Structure 1
Amino acid sequence: MLFGNSHASIKQHNLQPELSISELHSFLKNNHTKSNYWPAIMKCLALALLLCAQLSLLHGACLKFMQESDATECVDPRDGTRHPIGSWWRNSECQDCDCNGCCDAEFIKPTSYEEGCIMEFDKKNCEYKVFKKEDPTYSCKIYEAVGK
């Protein structure tokens, strides 16, 4: 049991086993230094924080769509392009798609590159480009990047 002998501790403080939020708050506020509840609550809060931090590792947004059961090809709802059943493609919004839906693609994003250069996302090729600010035809060296 997470909180030890909770009913005995609650009875000792003349509280009912079913606590309201205000009763629980008052109980914890007045007894946090004497209570064996506090370490367990802190563990739960730490776990909740850890789980929230993991959300950033999940795949980006996805859009699921249904194809007609007798369809002979898939139609991308973003740009209307047609594709063979069972295939996958990258659409005009740089999303990875199959016949069931599209998800935001993951890209390698430069984080460190030559001084005097800028980074822009090229939507036509679905990739980041790093080039000289004064001369967009000059590709800069990339030292570090993140992503898949």
Structure 2
Amino acid sequence: MRCLALALILCSLAAFANAYCYMGPKRVGAQEPCQDDTDKDWHEVGSSWTNSKCMECSCTAIAMDCCDRMGRPSGFPEDCEVLRDWKECTFEVVKKNDHSVQCPHAAVGK
């Protein structure tokens, strides 16, 4: 029973750790700029930026790494919706029929 519980915990941690970050193709020793997958902008090696989908990225000689800066809401009631502010990289979970009422939720990432 303890092994099953440990396996479930490890599987959930692996999913959490990898769900909202990604690494681009390996670029060992590369000095060429990285191209953002979302905005298609080019960024010099050593630079960091946040793209229009709130992914915080960095360009290194090894790879381009990006992680979700906003997080993803989950576990909220069906009568609620997510309002995202892509400029500020924030979100609110509110009632569909009354945006002044906040809804309970969990969030993954960020």
- TM-score, normalised with respect to structure 2: 0.55
Deviation at 1:57, TM superposition (A): 3.6
Are 1:79 and 2:39 counterparts? yes
Instruction: Tell me which of 70, 81, 106 is aligned to 1:107.
Output: 70
Cα gap change, 1:74/1:56 in structure 2, threshold over 3 Å: closer, same or farther?
Answer: closer
Q: Which stretches in structure 1 are left out of the alignment for 5+ residues?
A: 1-41, 112-116
Instruction: Tell me which of 45, 52, 56 is aligned to 2:4.
Output: 45
Q: What CA distance in whole angstroms lies between the structure 2 residues aligned with 1:46 and 1:129?
A: 33
Sequence identity of aligned pairs in percent?
A: 33
Q: Higher helix proportion, which one?
A: 1
Q: Which stretches in structure 2 are left out of the alignment for 5+ residues?
A: 75-79
Q: Higher strand proportion, which one?
A: 2
Are 1:88 and 2:51 counterparts? no
String of CA shifts for 1:109-141, please: whole Å, max 9, x gaps. Answer: 789xxxxx96401234322147897898xxx59
Structure with greater contact order relative to length (CA < 8 Å, sep ≥ 6): 2
The total of aligned residue pairs comes to 99
- Name which one, 1 or 2, has greater alpha-carbon Rg: 1
